[in-house]
């Protein structure tokens, strides 16, 4: 894709796995192992204040390209989904 181009048809985003070729080519040794939460993507650079609010779980604008809360997802393989736990931040 190039800057400013449009994507037509269904969009599929693969999280946690390196795709070696279009439509497949997954290598189990290249898969993400760990926890993933609140993935957002914006079409602009966030300000330092917006980044700090995001990191500290304060009010922040959800991604306008990719918004974790609006995703429809399909689980493939060994995936465990847990409810998000509130983390208290001490300063």
Instruction: Spell out the residues 6+ positions from residue 50 whose beta carbon is closer than 8 angstroms to its own.
Output: 60, 61
At 89, is the pLDDT very low, low, confident or very high (cuts 50, 70, 90)? low
- Residue ranges of domains in the chain: 17-70
- Tens digit of each residue's pLDDT (9 = 90 or more) over 29-60: 888 888 887 888 898 999 998 888 888 877 77
What is the DSSP annotation of 34-60?
S-----EE-SSPPPHHHHHHHHTT-S-
**What are 58's two structure tokens?**
């304060």
Does this model's pTM top 0.85? My answer is no
């Amino acid at each position: 894709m190039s800057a400013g181009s449009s994507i037509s048809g269904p969009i599929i985003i693969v999280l946690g796995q390196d795709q070696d070729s279009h439509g497949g080519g997954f290598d189990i040794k290249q898969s993400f192992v760990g926890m993933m939460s609140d993935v957002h993507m914006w079409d602009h650079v966030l300000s330092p204040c917006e980044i700090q609010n995001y990191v500290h779980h304060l009010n922040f604008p959800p991604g306008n390209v990719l918004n974790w809360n609006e995703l429809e997802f399909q689980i493939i393989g060994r995936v465990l989904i847990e409810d998000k736990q509130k983390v208290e931040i001490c300063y």
